[in-house]
Structure 1
Amino acid sequence: MDSWNIWSFLTIILIIFDNNRQSFSIGNNEVQGLSSSKSWTSNDQTILRHVQIVFRHGDRTPVWVEPPEPYYEKHKYWPQGFGQLTKQGKAKAYRLGQLLRKYYSDYLGWRFSVQEVFIRSSALDRCIETAQLIMAGAYPPNSSLARWNISSTSEPLAKLWQPTPIESFIPADEDTLLRINKPCPEADEIKERLLDSRRNRRLLQRYRPLLDQLERILSDHLHTIEQVSNVHENMNIMHENGYYWYKWEPESGNRSEELSKWTQESEEEIRRQLRLFEVAKYRSMFDDDFIKQVRAGELLHRIGDIFKSRRSVMEPASDSDRDYRLHLYSTHDTKLAALLQTLNVWNQELVPYLGTLMFELHQSRENSSQYYVQLWYLNETADLLEAQELRPHRLDIPGCDQEEFDEQNLMCPLDEFLFLIQPFSPPQDWKHSCGIHSELTAMISVNILLLIVNLTMMFFLLMGIMYVCSCINSRSGYERLR
């Protein structure tokens, strides 16, 4: 054996030894710090074949606060900027990554590979950072291959973190996979009608005295469900950060006299009442099949197409999707709410920070041609930092003839899942379906309108000329009587 082969052999031995040592070390840490993980043993009746996870970003600051709303002073209360992750949000996202790793440890293995894991994020900072933190928690550099400490300056970080690629979409407002902001006049018109329903108008009327009080504090009108919902969202974030309105002392000017009458108990009761408006907003804004189609259809069908590609290599969702074992999607509460309502599994509760949907594809051991979908929802995330394991809730999809493998294991056949989501296929022609006319079409329409106006004017002008001429001719046919 020549010297090159000897060194290659020794290198392989060292790598294997290092991986085994790391696995043993991680295993010991698991025993000390965490309880048992979810596993798929040889006794199970199905084999886990693919996982797709959709999660909301971590805790954030308000998207926008302007005077005279309390705590509008960004430099003092929100120095990280509006719409950015808080320290709590970052820590919880990292912990969620650790717990997801533990939950799927038997399926994923410990080494990160770009050929097995795909991460897609909404283009907003808070979503990208959440994806980074979850990956850092789920995939620590646990082998010499993963560590990049080739210098003393990088060694501390290289032992704790490894970079992972995250795909995003620019411009953000054109992203129909992970956002619901792409302009669609038809959907927006339907949404406005839904938000202005009789039920929502009654809710506004019922709490009009409270809303009048808030209008005096905010110097703004609160006439719609969305306006009140935004007030609740900001107040909720402020309370999470220890900022109560009744304690606020503005840097300049005087605060509203209304706030001096509040106490912590009364303010928490006000927040509880305002929460009804945010629930009403989410209940209403996706209560239409066309809205579900344009706001949830693309992501839902991507999930379905990828599951189909796992069943048969002859029908991959795309060449790049064929070999992945895990897809991660970092998104917003609105997208998760759209998915939950489209699948008819929403529990009338707001999607919390780091709320997570886990779509699993299972293959039957008894009949290898049979595949099943199982859906899990993690919607209790407030105590993630103290959690020792994930405890998601299984969601049974209505309309699906669930197959029971045991008392705790109901699954939806893949073909039935695909059939149920088929009506919500995303539009093939977005502009046509949404009632958007192209610039060329608009220009042609304007020109046609101008042509019609000009022809009409010419017609009336011609008629006027003919009338004048006829009058002159008729007058010239008579003689004055003497």
Structure 2
Amino acid sequence: MAGPGFRGHPAGLLLLLLLLPQALTEGPLVFVAVVRCPTPAARPFMSPRAALTWSPPQVFRHGDRAPLASYPTDPHKEAVSTLWPRGLGQLTGEGVRQQLELGRFLRSRYEDFLSPEYWREEVYIRSTDFDRTLESAQANLAGLFPEAAPGRSEATWRPIPVHTVPVTEDKLLRFPTRSCPRYQELLREAMEAAQYQTALEGWTDFLTHLENFTGLSLVGEPLRRAWKQAHGLPLPSWASPDVLQTLAQISALDIGAHVGPPGAAEKAQLSGGILLDAILANFSRVQHLGLPLNMVMYSAHDSTLLALQAALGLYDGHTPPYAACLGFEFRRRLGDPDDDAGNVTISLFYRNDSAGLPLTLSLPGCPAACPLGRFRQLTAPARPPAHGVPCHGFYEPATPAATVVPLLAGAVAVLAALSMGLGLLACTAGCLRDWRCPV
């Protein structure tokens, strides 16, 4: 993250905590929901001319968490264990509440498409391997499926499994890809660019003073969250609104280097475009194979959401708040039985405030209800090419076998029946574009 653009600069290590916790080591939860359309009925969120054929992949950030770190002059440093008894970086009670609320919102929005109870043949949940995302997934599921909520009687309570892979193997939800040399090369180029260096030099005095106040050059997250303003604790006197605004500007600059030009399209192919490609591939699998899979849920980080927004051309310079949610909705026009992509549209919504209605988003160059074929065409430059991604100087599969979600038993059974004993299908390292392997 620090990169060559920071070497020898007083802002070097300072930006590491500023940006990684809020934009790069953090992230959103990703929920991909696949829904079969039942008999048509009046649904307030649906167009009267279209039927929802697959509920949206929901990409959202985990709930509120404790700060990731403190700093030497933090006035609350000695009380960390009391303020956050579960530890730094862990999900808070407020974070649990946010995810419960988001799960209830999704239940309300897709009431007609989701079974009232969890069925393993219909739902698969994947999370990054962090406590806060695993717990956020569980809290969200408790809102989505009340049977999973705590407090149920022992006879009726039913836990819902959440699957994960090691952090070092997660190339679907974990961005930026630190194990990808090509991505790191593109990042260095962005940080060495004149525009980036000029902007950073303009903040040299500001960052130097900030280091004096905090006692270290690794500030970032403490400056943004460690004074616990959101938890009712006062900020230090030097953390004025102007200071926080400047920090937000520096954060936006650094996020832009990670997802924006130069090399924005190739960066997307190595990060958010991988997830976007998986979303489209899963839709194709469900439609063409008739899988009974109703929902695939991915629980991840704000960095995942940022990378996906950038791949869609929708990044607006702001870090997604806790429990922010980006959703895709696939619809087929009523009366059009064909599977042709021209009959299917994709709509996007963004829920970044639980107090308001979700915002309708439009892919640049397409209406709000974007035809699937046009959507694929517009996003093609940001998605990995068919022959893979050049992380190590040669093309390799965008997602290795370890990141591929295995077929559920119900899906396998359907495929076996349709294929005259095709049986259990094995996912290979190159199955990102193979309809048989949901990711």
TM-score (norm. length: structure 2): 0.71
- Report matched runs for 1:163-242 at 5 Å: 163-169=159-165, 171-180=166-175, 181-221=177-217, 229-235=220-226, 238-242=228-232
Aligned to 1:299: 275
Work out which of the residue numbers 112, 122, 131 in structure 2 matches 1:125. Answer: 131
Structure 1: segments with no counterpart, 5+ residues: 1-36, 149-153, 222-226, 247-261, 317-321, 403-409, 438-482
> What amino acid maps onto 1:67 in structure 2?
P
Partner of 1:333: 302
Q: Is the 8 A contact 1:294 1:427 kept in 2?
A: no
The structure showing larger relative contact order (alpha-carbon pairs under 8 Å, at least 6 residues apart) is 2
CA pair 341-280 structure 1, distance change in 2 beyond 3 A = same
- CA 1:276–1:231: 2 relative to 1, 3 Å: farther
SS of 2:329's partner is strand
1:308 CA drift (Å)? 1.6
CA distance in 1, matches of 2:387, 2:228: 42
Structure 1 residue identity aligned to 2:372: L
Structure 1 residue 276 corresponds to structure 2 residue 266: no
Larger radius of gyration: 1
Superposition pairs for residues 357-368 of structure 1, below 5 Å? 357-368=326-337
Moved more, 329-338 or 415-424: 415-424
For residues 228 and 391 of structure 1, what CA distance do their matches in structure 2 show?
35
Q: Is the 8 A contact 1:58 1:85 kept in 2?
A: yes
RMSD of the alignment, in Å? 3.0
Match of 1:397 among 352, 363, 383: 363
Identity %: 28
Work out the CA distance in 2 between the residues paired with 1:195 and 1:88.
36
Give how far 1:238 is off: 2.1
Give 1:219's aligned amino acid.
G
- Match among 46, 50, 59 for residue 54 of structure 1: 59
Alignment of 1:65-464 (within 5 A): 65-73=70-78, 74-141=80-147, 156=153, 161-169=157-165, 171-180=166-175, 181-221=177-217, 229-235=220-226, 238-246=228-236, 262=237, 267-287=240-260, 288-313=264-289, 322-369=291-338, 370-380=343-353, 384=354, 387=355, 391-400=357-366, 402=367, 410-426=368-384, 433-435=391-393
Tell whether the 8 Å contact from 1:147 to 1:158 is kept in structure 2 after alignment.
no
Partner letter of residue 257 of structure 2? S
Seen in structure 2, the aligned counterparts of structure 1 residues 239 and 199 have a Cα distance that, compared at 3 Å, is farther
The answer (yes or no) to whether the contact 1:56–1:331 under 8 Å persists in 2 is: yes
2:422 matched residue in structure 1: none
Contact 1:50/1:307 (8 A) holds in 2: yes
Question: Measured at CA, do residues 173 and 63 of structure 1 come closer, stay the same or move farther in structure 2, by a change above 3 Å?
Answer: farther
Instruction: Return closer, same or farther for 1:201/1:432 CA change in 2, 3 Å cut-off.
Output: closer
Task: Give the drift of 1:430.
Answer: 7.2
> Does the CA-based 8 Å contact 1:298-1:426 persist in structure 2?
yes
What is the one-letter code of the residue matched to 2:225? Answer: N
3-state secondary structure, aligned to 1:96: helix
Seen in structure 2, the aligned counterparts of structure 1 residues 272 and 219 have a Cα distance that, compared at 3 Å, is: same
Shift of 1:349: 1.6
Q: Secondary structure at the residue paired with 1:113?
A: coil
Residues 38 and 104, structure 1, Cα contact 8 Å, conserved in 2:
no
Q: What do residues 85-110 of structure 1 show as CA deviations (whole Å, max 9, x unaligned)? A: 11111111111111111122122242
- Superimposed CA distance per residue, residues 148-201 of structure 1 (whole angstroms, 9 cap, x where no aligned partner): 9xxxxx864666x531121211x2122011101441122112213323443333
CA distance in 2 between counterparts of 1:194 and 1:69 reads: 33
2:28 match? none
1:44 and 2:48 correspond: yes
Corresponding residue SS for 2:377: helix
Rounded to whole Å, the distance in 1 between the matches of 2:386 and 2:201 is 41
What is the CA deviation profile of residues 296-316 of structure 1, one whole-angstrom value per residue up to 9, with x for unaligned ones? 122111100112224322xx8
**Shift, 1:267, TM fit:** 2.3
The aligned amino acid for 1:351 is P
Instruction: Find the counterpart in structure 2 of residue 453 from structure 1.
Output: none
Please tell me whether the aligned partners of residues 65 and 90 of structure 2 are also in contact (alpha carbons under 8 angstroms): yes
State the Cα distance separating 1:327 from its structure 2 match: 2.3
Aligned residues: 345
- Alpha-carbon distance change, 338 to 40 in structure 1, aligned in 2, over 3 angstroms: closer
What's the CA shift for 1:66? 4.3
Q: Answer whether contact 2:183 2:391 (CA < 8 A) is retained.
A: no
Distance 1:285 1:182, change over 3 A: closer
Task: Give the direction of change, closer, same or farther, for the CA distance of 1:200–1:71 in structure 2 (3 Å limit).
Answer: farther
Give yes or no for contact 2:142–2:149 (8 Å, CA) kept in 1.
Answer: no
Q: 1:269 to 1:323 in 2, by over 3 A?
A: same
CA distance in 2, matches of 1:191, 1:147: 43
Consecutive unaligned residues of structure 2, counting only runs of 5 or more, are: 1-41, 396-439
> How far apart, CA to CA, are the structure 2 residues paired with 1:346 and 1:166?
29
Offset from partner CA, 1:432-471 (integer Å, 9 cap, x none): 533499xxxxxxxxxxxxxxxxxxxxxxxxxxxxxxxxxx
Distance of aligned partners of 1:431 and 1:347 in 2 relative to their CA distance in 1, 3 Å threshold: closer
